[in-house]
Structure 1
Amino acid sequence: METIVDEPQWLRTASWLGCPLAGAALGWFLQSISGWVVSLSWVPFKGPFQLVSDIPQPWGALGGMGAGLVLGLLFAAVWAHERLIVKVTPTRITLTSKGRSRAYEAQLQAVFLDGKELVLLAADGRELAREKGDVDREAIAKAFTEHGYPWHTEPPAVK
């Protein structure tokens, strides 16, 4: 039996839909206010805003929305790439993040969250893994305790 702890499906879906939509909205907004920004005497670096405001409509708005959409997709892709996925079985722990997976089959002294980092300590006290991720504390604790791993709610005291 394997337990997988990952971001909820709704959040993964929302990131792929929401980030591009927010990017497109932001691109449209920045393009639509560029003429106003150029008219302000106190604004530094007016050059980029002037370039954007000089683009004829509707191409300026479409270009701003398109650029924002692409940037939103890139942000969603980075988010998905950085996400931590934890697979737990009674004999193996697999951590996947940043495009790589690492499996651990060693005896463990402790498993715990140190802030937002999941930490695996070997039986001899060595740190086997420390992976940053936004995992659900309750779900991760349940996954490790159900499979018999030594889950700690806080980092154990250093000996």
Structure 2
Amino acid sequence: METIVDEPQWLRTASWLGCPLAGAAIGWFLQSISGWVASLSWVPFKGPFQLVSDMPRPWGVVTGIGVGLAFGLFFAAVWAHERLIVKVTPTRITLTAKGRSRAYEAQLEAVFFDGKELVLLAADGRELVRQKGDVDREAVAKALLDHGYPWQDEPPAVK
């Protein structure tokens, strides 16, 4: 039996829809104020704002929305690539992040979160992995305890 702890489906879907939509809205907004920003004497890097404000309509609006949409898609892709997925079986813990999966089958002394990092300590006290990720701590703890791993709510005291 395998337990998988991942972001909820609604959040993954919302990130792929919300980030591009927010990017498009920001792109439209920046395009709509670009002429005003370019007219301010104290603003550094006026060039891009002047370039956008000089574009004929509707191309300036389309460009602003398109660039914002592209940045939103890029942000959503980075978010998906960086997220941590934890798979737990009675004999293996598999961590997937940044496009790589690593499986750990060693005897463990402790598994815990240190800040936002999931830490696995081998039976001899060595740190096997320290993986950063925003994952549901309670779900990870439950999955590990259900499969018999030595979960600790806090990092152990330094020996």
For Structure 1 versus Structure 2, the TM-score category normalised by the shorter chain is over 0.9
CA–CA distance in structure 2, aligned partners of residues 141 and 106 of structure 1: 18
The 5 A counterparts of 1:25-36 are 25-36=25-36
The 5 A counterparts of 1:127-142 are 127-142=127-142
CA–CA distance in structure 2, aligned partners of residues 83 and 104 of structure 1: 19
SS at structure 1 position matched to 2:41: coil
State the TM-score, normalized to the length of structure 2.
0.98
Aligned length: 159
SS at structure 1 position matched to 2:111: strand
Residue aligning to 1:4: 4
SS at structure 2 position matched to 1:125: coil
Residue aligning to 2:85: 85
State the TM-score, normalized to the length of structure 1.
0.98
Residue aligning to 2:43: 43
For 1:139, the aligned partner's letter is A
Residue aligning to 1:151: 151
Structure 2 segments unaligned to the other structure (5+ residues): none
Structure 1 segments unaligned to the other structure (5+ residues): none
> What RMSD, in angstroms, separates the aligned Cα atoms of the two structures?
0.7
Identity fraction in percent: 86
Residue aligning to 2:126: 126
1:80-134: CA deviations, max 9, x gaps? 0011000000000000000010001110000000011000000000011111000
Shift, 1:48, TM fit? 1.3
Shift, 1:42, TM fit? 2.1
CA–CA distance in structure 1, aligned partners of residues 53 and 145 of structure 2: 58
Shift, 1:50, TM fit? 0.5
